[in-house]
Amino acid sequence: MNIIVQKYGGSSVADANKIKNVANRIKKRVLQNYKLVVIVSAPGKTTDQLIKFAKEVSSNPEPREMDMLLATGEQMSVALLSMALKEINIKAKSFNAFQLNIQTTEHHTKARIKDIDEKIILKNLQEYDVIVVAGFQGINQHSDITTLGRGGSDTTAVAIAAKLKAPCEIYSDVDGIYTCDPRIHPNAKKHSYITYDDVLELASLGAKVLHSRAVELAKKYNITLLCASSFNESEGTMVVNNLPEWLEEPVVTGATITKNELKVTLLNLPKDQSIISKIFDEVSEKNLNVDMISIVSSNDKMFLSFSILEEQREDFEKVVQKALDDLKEWNLSYNGNFSKLSIVGIGMRTAPGVASRFFKALSKINIIPELVTTSEIKISALVPREKAEQALKEIITEFGL
């Protein structure tokens, strides 16, 4: 049995015509004698509409009920796509998380897949040509519905591909992975190949490429991912462990900006490593995104700076209050209107002078970064938001992206 796993994003199943288009694409593969497992997201803006409805009903919707609500979107899609497939004489059957026993951790709104019963899939593929699976959702040990976080359908797809040892194709409204956002920079170049590591860095920097957990799983189980468009036949990008040898490796493979960063500064902390642990323990427990951490210390005091997402400010403040409850004299300040500008590339590991070219490009438009962090394959800088787009253009020119 030749199995392919495919995933179609929300924009690919946004209305009846788009669903029929996806059904026809699937049919072509069935006629080539493949069996398909197809993972779908909720149609179009459905998830956003459901979140809006929830917020009208409750100022702070209970996560368990939020997952119960949001999981309906993907269930709609699987039913509708299965109908569309039957309409063109393809034997298809839909599955939700209960029916496929997609087991996850118990954390609502950000659960992780623990196991999927691939036997149910294999058994049904004997009778059906296409198994249509609701992405994004799972069941925890209490039989509660969980969800995997925005973009989680990618992870459902890769987890199933890993279980079935099948290739995985991720279809969306973008026809591959670009050096930078092609909607903003029309000269952006599409990668034919990119490594898991580069995609992970790009995703962690806010580029909406693939769900990070999906890429981690693909890397762990060595699943080749194809990212392509559901609306045309252009070639797409292969995400692989190592680039093919014939491919000349570029130094910098991508540049991104995120728009809603807040710089946080904690002054006058006592010089005590346990305080830092305490803060970051709380931060990780609440699943807050803290980034670009810089610590400076003098004789007996510490000064901490880092960036957080603006919308997490309130949660973050509680965390700090709790962690520093029994301390005095410390001082917390926020500094808004920043964007995080980053470049990524495996080539940076070996190519010298990348940081210097990065800062030179910024200085051309008089930007002195507020915070800087670097890793082996990435450099990020916090820059004033109103200059961020201009800065990105300089970077793109500098590195020929």
Which residues of the chain form contacts with its own copies (CB under 8 A)?
15-16, 19-20, 50, 53-54, 56-62, 64-66, 68-69, 71-73, 75-76, 78-80, 82-84, 86-87, 93-94, 96, 98-99, 143-145
Output the smallest distance, CB 311 to its own copies, in A: 20
Write the DSSP symbol of residue 187.
Answer: T
Cβ closest to its own copies, residue 79 vs residue 226? 79
Q: Provide the minimum distance between the beta carbon of 114 and its own copies in the complex, in angstroms, as a whole number.
A: 18
Instruction: Output 19 or 170, the one with its CB closest to its own copies.
Output: 19
How many Cβ atoms from other residues are within 10 Å of residue 394's Cβ? 20
Q: CB nearer to its own copies: give 42 or 239.
A: 42
Q: Are 291 and 285 in contact (CB under 8 A)?
A: no
Closest distance of CB 99 from its own copies, Å: 5
CB 166 within 8 A of CB 6: no
**At its nearest, how many Å lie between its own copies and the CB of residue 379?**
43
248 Cβ contact list (under 8 Å, min separation 6): none
Check if the beta carbon of residue 154 is closer than 8 Å to that of residue 168: no
The Cα–Cα gap between 156 and 141 comes to: 18
> 97 or 275: whose CB is closer to its own copies?
97
Nearest to 216 by CA among 233, 234, 195: 195
Separation between Cα atoms, residue 68 and residue 358, nearest integer Å = 46
Among residues 53 and 334, whose Cβ is nearest to its own copies? Answer: 53
Q: What are phi and psi of 257, to 5 degrees?
A: -130, 145
Please report how close the Cβ of residue 194 comes to its own copies at its closest, in angstroms: 35
Using the minimum distance from each CB to its own copies, give the nearer residue, 125 or 279. 125
**Closest CB to its own copies among residues 98, 330:** 98
**Shortest Å distance, C-beta 233 to its own copies:** 23
Could you say which DSSP state residue 53 is in?
A: H
Which of 251, 172, 165 has its CA nearest to residue 12? Answer: 172
Q: How far is the CB of 64 from its own copies (least distance, A)?
A: 8
Name the pairing type of β-strands 168-172 and 225-229. Answer: parallel
Taking the complex as a whole, the smallest distance from the CB of residue 149 to its own copies amounts, in Å, to 18
Burial of 50 (C-beta count, 10 Å sphere; 0-12/13-18/19+): middle
State residue 237 phi and psi, 5-degree precision.
-120, 135
Nearest residue (CB) to its own copies, 65 versus 216:
65
Enter the tokens of residue 201.
Answer: 């860095």
Q: How far apart are CA 83 and CA 120, in angstroms?
A: 20
